[in-house]
Amino acid sequence: MNYTIASLKVGEQGVIKEISLKNIPLALLEMGCLPGEDIELIQVAPLQDPLYIRVNGSHLAIRKETASQILITKK
């Protein structure tokens, strides 16, 4: 089964498996959102968008649409 960041529940962790480079903002890649990095869903905004994640020691807010395009393996 394929999981994405958007499929995580708060507190769950995973490892980034694959990123579609044409659909992901360059800024996310520059901040360390790269294959092989550990990721954790920290919080979800009240209207379910954006999602707050921890990756590469940084806390980031990303749109749910973007999060649904980043494949992960759950820990």
Residue 73 has pLDDT above 90, yes or no: yes
**pLDDT tens digits for range 28-60:** 888 888 899 999 999 999 999 999 999 988 999
Domain count, the chain: 1
- What mean pLDDT is reported for the chain? 91
The neighbour count for residue 14, using CB atoms within 10 Å, is 22
Integer Cα distance of 72 and 18 in angstroms: 7
Residue count (the chain) = 75
The range of the structural domain enclosing residue 46 comes to 3-74
- For residues 51-71, give the mean pLDDT: 93
- Amino acid identity, residue 26? L
Q: pTM for this one?
A: 0.87
Q: For position 52, which CATH number holds?
A: 2.30.30.90
